[in-house]
Amino acid sequence: MLGIGIDVSKAVLDVAVGGQEQVRRYANDAKGVRRLIKWLHTLTDVRIVIESTGGYEVAAADACVASGLWIARVNPRQARDFARAVGQLAKTDSLDARVLAEMAAALHARLRPHQVAPSWQAELQAWLRRRRQVLEALQRTRQQWDMALPSLRRLMAKTMTVLRKEMVAIDAHLTELTQAHSTPALRSAKGLGPVFQTTVLALLPELGRLSRREIAKLVGVAPLNNDSGKMLGKRRIYGGRADVRIALYMATLSAVRWEAVLREHYQQLRARGKAAKVAMVACMRKLLGILNARRREELRAEELSTLA
């Protein structure tokens, strides 16, 4: 087995092979990706790791999957932590590619292979990304309003008007896309509104395909141990997919008021002395587990209908 690491930037792909000093460089465009795939097919039994880089890695990762190559996308934090663990503190594109190659050789059995997103899901991700950008721009402008000069406020008001109009258009298109692909499981509890459904469809395709514990850890609502010897540390949540976690939190805020099961769960935890935040995270985890089980049943039903 041969580990391959691909460091990604907007313009180029730096490619390293485990155990070799040489780092190849390809343009990060259609022609460069084709040349990369052609070269990778000259190698035998490769495991490729590529770092998530704001979407610039998608074309290369999708092309590898389409050509039958095994490839995994990793979080930049994971890649940096692995580099520190092997003593590689310096950072350049070539060094990062070599570290990713080492990571591929050492950890490929623990990594989840990349899967090509359907075209509708890729479109949903792009529109959701733009929605987040517009929302952040609106929030920044509102925060700056009180400190702005009166002459600037007129310009800021025009900017906010344009951004609000764009937000309305984005939400309308997202609603149309979501309605076409949403399932009963994603609408099966109070609080699971359009934003939550859109976020899960775009950013959590693993829902229903993983166990309850796995999906909780993936989203970042699983309590992680912090024990050593006789010391029992405080459990905390860490990592995960922040955008999904935020949407889940907002859905849970409503669900603990209107869903009897979650309301009782929250009240029981509070009665046992749990802090409000701890009880809320536990309810987030419970709601996610419920949705995961319901989505799993839907997937099974789809498989059975296909076989029939």
CB proximity list for 197: less than 8 A, separation 6 or greater? 178, 182, 186, 187
- Average pLDDT of span 279-286: 96
308 pLDDT above the threshold of 80: no
In a domain, 47, yes or no: yes
C-alpha span between 130 and 170 (Å, rounded): 8
pLDDT in tens, 193-204: 999 999 999 999
Closest among 162, 243, 259, 142 to 195, alpha carbons compared: 243
Q: Are strands 12-17 and 71-74 parallel, antiparallel or unpaired?
A: unpaired
Closest among 217, 237, 131 to 177, alpha carbons compared: 131
In a domain, 207, yes or no: yes
Distance of CA 70 to the CA centre of its chain: 20
pLDDT in tens, 134-189: 999 999 999 999 899 988 999 999 999 999 999 999 999 999 999 999 999 999 88
C-alpha span between 155 and 230 (Å, rounded): 61
Contact between 41 and 67 under an 8 Å Cβ cutoff? The reply is yes
Contact between 51 and 79 under an 8 Å Cβ cutoff? The reply is yes
Beta strands in 115-273 (DSSP E): 227-228, 231-232
Backbone dihedral angles phi then psi of residue 8, each to the nearest 5 degrees: -115, 135
Distance of CA 55 to the CA centre of its chain: 12
238 pLDDT above the threshold of 80: yes
Domain containing 248 equals: 197-307
Domain boundary among 61, 80, 110: 110
Statement to judge: residues 219 and 129 lie in one domain: no
In a domain, 259, yes or no: yes
* Percentage of residues of the chain with pLDDT beyond 70: 100
Statement to judge: residues 103 and 127 lie in one domain: no
Statement to judge: residues 274 and 249 lie in one domain: yes
In a domain, 192, yes or no: no
Task: Provide the whole-model pTM.
Answer: 0.85
Distance of CA 171 to the CA centre of its chain: 20
Taking only Cα atoms into account, the Rg of the chain, rounded to an integer number of angstroms, comes to: 23
Work out how many domains the chain is built from and give that number. 3
In a domain, 212, yes or no: yes
